[in-house]
Amino acid sequence: MEIMRRYCINDRPVQFQIVSDQAACMQNRFGRVNFEDPNFNIGLPVFTIHGNHDGPAGVDGLSSIDILSACNFVNYFGNVDAGSSDVGQISVCPIFIEKGATSVALYGLGNIRDDKLSSMLETPHKIEWMKADSEDDWFNLFVLHQKRRKGSTTNGINEQLLPHFLDLVIWGHEHECLTDSQEVPGKSFHIIQPGSSVATSLSNAEAKPKHAVLLEINGRQYRQTKLPLKSVRAFKYAEVLLKDQLGVEHNSEESLYEHLNKIVSNLIDKTATSGSEPKLPLVRVKVDYSGLSTIIPQRFGQKHVGKVANPNEILLFSRSTQRHRKHTDGSEEIEPNELGQKNVEELIAESDLKMQILDKRDLESALHDFVSKDDSMAFHSCLNKNIEAVKNKLNSAAKDFKAEDMVLQLDQCMKELMDEDSLPSKGELLCSQSLPTNTQSAFQELKCSSNDEQENQKSNELIETSDEQLPQVASQKRPVPADGSSASSRRRKTDLTSFYQTVVKNGHDGAKKCKTPVAGRYGTIRRR
């Protein structure tokens, strides 16, 4: 913000004008660009979209760029609400800029989850591109911030999916600096990838020189000029395969220390700091130690304290992810590790998760927001969004709801539970005796007349015996059988009288006496 205040706020006149509806394409409450505000002197207008780390998040969907926009330092555009997984359509509204005889239509699209944007680009009419009335007079410039996958539709955006009417695409998110415009086969536009302004990861792509791009447009023609960044911290990268290095003895730490020290010292000597405040360089050496021993990286870095900015992270030991496949003739062929070539998104896609309420893509988006944007409410918002969607579907289908459908589902659920339980239990006994075998029949029996219900109650009254024969015993009430037969024909074979006589007979014969029968809730049973 200090840099913007120093270089953007001044009395220099702005030489171009905005001729489009600013309220439709600008993401601010004032509905106009910052240099047209009479309360501010903006000499260098900045137009920006959001990326994957500063995208909208939280309850109100705010971005850190909203703060800069509220302060009138930048002009925030390209923020579209992609919504949930069932989003219908989004509109990309350009900013029409005119200066003399040159007219530029500036399209912008902030970062959206790659798989969602790729799916929308593949589906016709999912993205509506607002165009000028006379397309031939406008230079169409598109700015986006996504993963770039050339010729692929997985884990990134395929450049072939972009519309034909574009003239130039400024591609963000990718850190590798590719300032020369690249032609897309089969398309009429070119791509410029400026890359990151500083090294954000210690990888080979970040070790290339950093540049900014000055783009000049005249009519439908343009040219770019790359400007090297002189104040960037120097970064050197190298890869070493130990088994191919001469002079490295196996299982000798001293030999390994000496060899790696020479490599790091040569990289440090190649770095040339420039600028008013020289900065210590970054150095990364990736060492493949397959079949050999390693050393402690922190101990190795102590020799280079004060010489590099990352003494504890100079060395990165790794083993080759390739394996050798032997042929019948004895030759070997390097076979890539399939698991090492897959990412998390592809592994999740192969798992084929079958979710009924939560959407898999919404969960992936919530995980991305939780990790990348530090949004603690990401999963909570995802859950609430999907629950509301399910409620709306249920409410819309409430008019067509029938009680018979619920009975059929209940009947199926009971049958599944009975099939799962192999041992007799209280719940199973209740399902087999107290409920009919067919729940749909039971639902129809609820419509019986009151006379039939009274007759059924009389046939299922409690049966009591005298105190001399047996303690007070009661049998359970039985519902009306589903087949319409009488209750007496479906009684148990063992009634109270025959059960009592059997106990007395065993007692007179001197056989093993049975314990006193007890009246349970579901009929008279013999306690064992």
Query: What's the confidence (pLDDT) of residue 80?
Result: 84
Over the stretch 150-160, which tens digit does the pLDDT of each residue have? 655 557 898 98
> Cβ(154)–Cβ(346) under 8 Å?
yes
Identify the helix (H) or strand (E) that includes residue 119: helix 114-122
Tokens 């032609």 belong to 183
Q: How far is CA 436 from CA 83, 230, 488, in A?
A: 49, 85, 16
Query: What's the confidence (pLDDT) of residue 436?
Result: 44
Degrees, nearest 5: CA angle 479-482-483:
130
Give the strand order in the sheet containing 282-288: 235-241, 282-288, 315-318
Domains and CATH numbers, the chain: 1-228 (3.60.21.10), 235-322 (3.30.110.110), 347-391 (no CATH)
pTM score over 0.75: no
Query: What's the confidence (pLDDT) of residue 337?
Result: 42
Instruction: Characterize the bridge pairing of strands 102-109 and 168-172.
Output: unpaired
Phi, psi of 257 (to 5 degrees): -55, -50
Residues of the chain with pLDDT under 50: 84-86, 323-324, 333-341, 422-439, 442-443, 446-447, 449-451, 458-478, 482, 485-494, 496, 498-499, 501-512
Query: What's the confidence (pLDDT) of residue 366?
Result: 81
Identify the helix (H) or strand (E) that includes residue 2: helix 2-8
Instruction: Report d(CA 498, CA 491) in Å as an integer.
Output: 13
Q: Tell me the pLDDT of the chain averaged across its residues.
A: 75
Query: What's the confidence (pLDDT) of residue 18?
Result: 94
DSSP-H helix ranges across 142-301: 253-270, 297-301
Query: What's the confidence (pLDDT) of residue 511?
Result: 47
Positions marked catalytic? 53
Q: How many CB atoms lie within 10 A of CB 232?
A: 17
Over the stretch 38-93, which tens digit does the pLDDT of each residue have? 999 999 999 999 998 888 887 788 889 999 999 999 999 998 876 544 456 788 99
* Among the listed residues 97, 71, 94, the one whose alpha carbon sits nearest the alpha carbon of residue 8: 71
